[in-house]
């Protein structure tokens, strides 16, 4: 631990010595190990370690950035030198204020488990194999199409010239599976399930059984009707729709640029009064919980919507300072068009765990509330939604008809169209059981007046 912190300190010291007005060094990465499933067989097994150092050097508002996966004192100093050279070649950013200042860090429970760190590739293969066997046993003609098990151990070290210094370590393990089933001429859509935890608590048998059973149920196809209906949205479907609309609307940079549907609406009612949403990077056991974000700012719980009223947005350090606010600890890195690693880009705004507070309705009460409508497990095509307007049109697969307050049969060739921001105003009932899917921790919700298009 101390060696990587020392590396960060030396990089910062070098940048300042060379003339930078501010500097920051981040060491980030770790080990990703797992096995992949393809067509009912273990296809491959991998074990990859990727850790790198990234340096930002600021020279009177001009920002330079450099990174490498060579972790030596010499390379750390070289990155400091390169970052400063890049700053000297870059135009001055008139909006730049400063790097973050030190703040106390929270204690975030249930994000590290030594047992996960000690897992081997043999365990990953075994977990995947158990999921395959459970899926095949869920019914006749079930094919585990793809899936696998992934184990991650990630470490963060961040130091800057204002006195920020933080270390954090986390683990995660997940088994996931997509299954298909055939019954006569009917073939189910891909039916996906997973079990993920920051601790060694995955249940591969449950994953396989649920994915296989859902695929079997999806072959029992019956008629679908078009019109305006109440729908029961599963966390999978809700997460898909809101990731490409709502998440973009709550990012502080989009708000500043006028690209958010929520611009100038803080304090206004923007959703159903039974809806409260917050971003919580300190959620115990949350898949995206951590002590700090990727520029050393403490993670926190940030209210977004409280009883239907818009409270605020999420920020990284840059955009928060620009609008005179404090960072909410939502700086992430990596990705982009080149799929760069977590140390390979400058920070940008991203959510941690977006928590939708559950209600108190049971599964039976949710279905009874719909009465005559649809249960939507997953949607396809949400990535084509318009984040600025909230308009979306998605295919429903798998999805099921609800009649007389009970689920009767699967439906095929059905779509749903609507507006994500208006949809949040139409939520009339919320389940009491929540689960995390992607960044969202959410219950099932009943939404009224959704447009269903059936062939």
| Structure tokens given for 91 | 């135009």
Domains by residue range for the chain, with CATH: 2-217 (3.30.2290.10), 227-454 (no CATH)
Residue corresponding to tokens 């600025």? 388
Residues in contact with 364: Cβ distance below 8 Å, sequence separation at least 6, in sequence order: none
pLDDT band per the 50, 70, 90 thresholds, residue 337: confident
pTM across the whole model: 0.96
- pLDDT at residue 134, rounded to an integer: 98
The pLDDT of residue 338 is above 90: no
**Across-strand partners of 292?**
298
CA neighbours closer than 13 Å in the CB half-sphere of residue 365: 12
- pLDDT at residue 74, rounded to an integer: 97
208: left (phi over 0), alpha (psi -120 to 50) or beta: alpha
Per-residue pLDDT tens digits for 142-188: 999 999 999 999 999 999 999 999 999 999 999 999 999 999 999 99
The pLDDT of residue 336 is above 90: no
Residue corresponding to tokens 């940048």? 15
State how far the alpha carbon of 369 is from the alpha carbons of 267, 271, 414, in Å: 30, 19, 21
Q: What is the largest CA-CA distance in the chain?
A: 74
**Across-strand partners of 419?**
391
pLDDT band per the 50, 70, 90 thresholds, residue 339: confident
The pLDDT of residue 362 is above 90: yes
- The alpha helices in 377-449, defined as continuous H runs, are 420-423
pLDDT band per the 50, 70, 90 thresholds, residue 455: confident
Q: What is the mean pLDDT of residues 237-250?
A: 98
**With pLDDT > 70 as the criterion, what percentage of the chain qualifies?**
100
Give the mean pLDDT of the chain.
Answer: 97
Cβ neighbours around 62 below 10 Å, total: 19
DSSP structural state of residue 5: H
**Which is it for strands 440-454 and 354-356: parallel, antiparallel or unpaired?**
parallel
Residues 202, 291: Cα–Cα separation, whole Å: 23
| Structure tokens given for 145 | 């199409």
The pLDDT of residue 1 is above 80: no
Q: Which residues of 199-236 are buried (b: 16+ CB within 10 A; e: fewer)?
A: bbebbbbbbbbbbbbbbbbbbebeebeeeebbbbbbbb
The pLDDT of residue 241 is above 90: yes
- pLDDT at residue 245, rounded to an integer: 98
- pLDDT at residue 2, rounded to an integer: 66
The pLDDT of residue 231 is above 60: yes
Residues in contact with 6: Cβ distance below 8 Å, sequence separation at least 6, in sequence order: none
The pLDDT of residue 286 is above 70: yes
Residues 401, 88: Cα–Cα separation, whole Å: 62
State how far the alpha carbon of 339 is from the alpha carbons of 27, 334, 394, in Å: 18, 7, 26
Residues 304, 294: Cα–Cα separation, whole Å: 21
Contact 374, 337 (CB under 8 A): no
Residues 34, 42: Cα–Cα separation, whole Å: 11
- pLDDT at residue 52, rounded to an integer: 98
Per-residue pLDDT tens digits for 401-434: 999 999 999 999 999 999 999 999 999 999 999 9
Per-residue pLDDT tens digits for 55-96: 999 999 999 999 999 999 999 999 999 999 999 999 999 999
């Amino acid at each position: 631990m101390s060696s990587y912190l020392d590396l960060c300190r030396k990089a910062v010291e070098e940048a300042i010595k060379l003339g930078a007005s501010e500097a920051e060094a981040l060491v980030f990465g770790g080990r990703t190990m797992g096995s992949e499933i393809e067509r009912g067989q273990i296809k491959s097994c991998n074990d990859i370690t990727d850790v790198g150092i990234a340096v930002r050097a600021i020279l009177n508002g001009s920002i330079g950035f450099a990174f490498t996966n060579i972790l030596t004192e010499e390379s750390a100093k070289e990155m400091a030198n390169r970052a400063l050279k890049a700053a000297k070649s870059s135009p001055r950013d008139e909006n730049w204020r400063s790097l973050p200042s030190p703040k106390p860090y929270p204690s975030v429970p249930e994000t590290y488990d030594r047992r996960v760190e000690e897992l081997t590739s043999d365990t990953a293969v075994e977990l995947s194999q158990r999921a395959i066997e459970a899926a095949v046993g869920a019914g006749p003609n079930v094919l585990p199409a793809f899936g696998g098990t992934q184990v991650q151990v990630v470490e963060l070290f961040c130091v800057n010239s204002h006195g920020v210094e933080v270390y954090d370590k986390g683990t995660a393990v997940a088994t996931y599976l997509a299954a298909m089933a055939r019954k006569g001429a009917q073939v189910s859509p891909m039916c996906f399930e997973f079990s993920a935890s920051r601790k060694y608590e995955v249940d591969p048998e449950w994953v396989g059984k649920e994915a296989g059973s859902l695929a079997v149920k999806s072959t029992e196809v019956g008629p679908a009707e078009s019109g305006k209906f109440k729908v029961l949205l599963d966390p999978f479907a809700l997460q898909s729709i809101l990731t490409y609309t709502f998440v973009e609307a709550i990012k502080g940079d989009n708000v500043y640029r006028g690209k958010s549907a929520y611009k100038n609406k803080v304090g206004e009612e923007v959703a159903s009064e039974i809806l409260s949403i917050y971003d919580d990077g300190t959620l115990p056991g949350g898949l995206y919980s951590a002590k700090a974000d990727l520029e050393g700012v403490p993670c926190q719980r940030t209210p977004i919507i409280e009883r239907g009223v818009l409270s605020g947005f999420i920020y990284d350090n840059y955009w928060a300072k620009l609008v005179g606010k404090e960072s909410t600890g939502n700086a992430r890195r990596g990705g982009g068009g080149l799929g760069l690693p977590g140390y390979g880009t400058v920070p940008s705004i991203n959510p941690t765990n977006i928590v939708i507070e559950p209600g108190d309705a049971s599964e039976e009460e949710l279905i009874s509330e719909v009465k005559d409508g649809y249960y939507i497990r997953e949607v396809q095509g949400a990535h084509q939604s318009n984040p600025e307007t909230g308009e979306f049109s998605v295919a429903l697969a798998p999805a099921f008809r609800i009649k007389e307050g009970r689920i009767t049969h699967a439906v095929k060739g059905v779509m749903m169209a609507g507006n994500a921001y208006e949809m949040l105003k139409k939520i009339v009932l919320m389940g009491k059981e929540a689960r995390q899917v992607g960044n969202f921790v959410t219950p099932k919700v009943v939404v009224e007046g959704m447009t269903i298009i059936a062939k």
